[in-house]
Structure 1
Amino acid sequence: MIITLILFGVVILSMVVQSRVTGTFRKYSQVPDRSGLTGAEVARRILDENGLSDVNIEHSPGGFLSDHYDPRSRVLRLSREVYQGSNIAALGVAAHECGHAIQHGEHYGAFKLRQALAPTAGIGSQAGMLLFIVGLIMSWPPLTYAGIGLYALIVIFQLITLPVELNASSRALSILESGGYMDWEEAGGAKKVLSAAAMTYLMSALVGILSLLRLISLANNRR
């Protein structure tokens, strides 16, 4: 019961954090960057400067803040707001995604581990809860705990994602300042945008951990 209440509170807090991300991005998307470059232009320069001219940049079809780096096709996909935007928020997000491409190019350990776990985490997200529920209905503990084990893969993936995202943001801010794309005051605004986004990954990990503990508690109570 206690775990359920805490989980409920964290889920509500996650919604607040997500709203804060949107608000922070919109706030700093109204602040022009002195470089006058768009997110796509800055991304192209950063990639080229780091020997990643083979990484293409495309519009993301996913809509608002759907920016991501695809390591399989080596493509940086930027949302319309970031691709075309010439403001602090757009440049911060674009540089962050370039940070992931640089991680890939440098064989950054945590990035490689996250990519290796991605397929199994995907299986866990699809099958874990199903096996758990079926195991409970059939009163078959091995199936129930198999579901818990698969769900745990998601949590591990989320925990590994945290240092990957924080490192990408750190790289982004350093590049933006050292490359002359932003002064220290503008970089402070970009940091607020990226810090707000990082909080969503932290909240996701907390929700995952609490959900896992709740599943374990439910399984133990049925024994």
Structure 2
Amino acid sequence: MYFPFLFEPTMLILIPGIIIAAYAQNKVSGTYNRYLRVPSTRGLTGAQTARNMLDANGLYNVNIELVGGKLSDHYDPRKRVLRLSNEVYNGRSVAAVGIAAHEVGHAIQHQEAYAPLKFRNAIFPVVSFASSIAWFLFFIGFLFQAMQLMNIGIIFFAGSVVFNMVTLPVEFNASKRAIAQLSANGLVIREESVGVKKVLDAAALTYVAALLVSLLQLVRLVVLRGSRD
């Protein structure tokens, strides 16, 4: 007997996703570090840039907080808080400005009730719970040839695929808004917009990779289930 958590032939299905995920991670790290060394012309920090953009869009009630970690920046729609890592919050680089603007893009999406964001936020609690037990259910079903448990595990895991799929338009749209807002508010010059776009495009690639890996993992589960028929 072999187990779905250990190495077996179906793990070969994941290889393309693993390669692309590794490439995406290397790309975002390299691009981020490169533009982290390029100072912005306006000399504003990421926090100042974010505050400027938030106020320009009437989002005075959205606070900005410092959060630990690297590239841990995010917008919390429940508390309406923008959290920026130290390199972004206090940084005056093109990378810092771009990432701060991207997170503001999410705040603007929230304000405008952007449909994909609303859907992602709505399914997040369910998907989070379902994905946390999906592998357990599938594993037990696989061990005891309980097809129903394996089917439930697959369905639960499919929820994470849907979540990753919905995340793509949310992230791409936030980046598009960020670049437009930075230019409209005179926070970057034309040459810096190119750098901001490169940083945000590299970051977006990680979401594409995450979707691909989850899709391949779903295919793998289906193949494993088929082997128990």
* TM-score of the pair, normalised by structure 1: 0.97
Aligned to 1:28: 35
Aligned to 1:99: 105
Deviation at 1:5, TM superposition (A): 2.4
**Of 159, 168, 175, the match for 2:165:** 159
- 1:117 matched to 2:142: no
Aligned to 1:64: 70
Deviation at 1:16, TM superposition (A): 2.1
Give yes or no for contact 2:45–2:88 (8 Å, CA) kept in 1: yes
Q: Tell me the secondary structure at the aligned position of residue 66 of structure 1.
A: coil
Deviation at 1:3, TM superposition (A): 6.2
Q: Which amino acid aligns with 2:72?
A: S
Unaligned runs of 5+ in 1: none
CA distance in 2, matches of 1:47, 1:176: 11
CA distance in 2, matches of 1:37, 1:6: 46
Q: Which amino acid aligns with 2:131?
A: S
Q: Which amino acid aligns with 1:72?
A: R
**Of 187, 197, 205, the match for 2:203:** 197
CA distance in 2, matches of 1:6, 1:185: 41
Q: Tell me the secondary structure at the aligned position of residue 78 of structure 1.
A: strand
Unaligned runs of 5+ in 2: 1-7
Give yes or no for contact 1:124–1:152 (8 Å, CA) kept in 2: no
Q: Which amino acid aligns with 1:117?
A: I
**Of 39, 42, 53, the match for 2:46:** 39
Deviation at 1:124, TM superposition (A): 2.1
Aligned to 1:52: 59
Q: CA deviation digits over 1:118-147, x for unaligned, max 9?
A: 011101221001100001111110111000
CA distance in 2, matches of 1:196, 1:203: 11
- 4+ residue runs of structure 1 moved beyond 2 angstroms? 1-6
Q: CA deviation digits over 1:16-44, x for unaligned, max 9?
A: 21021111111001111111100000101
* TM-score of the pair, normalised by structure 2: 0.94
Give yes or no for contact 1:3–1:210 (8 Å, CA) kept in 2: no
CA distance in 2, matches of 1:167, 1:222: 42
Q: Tell me the secondary structure at the aligned position of residue 83 of structure 2.
A: strand
CA distance in 2, matches of 1:120, 1:19: 31
CA distance in 2, matches of 1:9, 1:109: 31
Identity of aligned residues (%): 48
CA distance in 2, matches of 1:133, 1:155: 19
Q: Tell me the secondary structure at the aligned position of residue 77 of structure 1.
A: strand
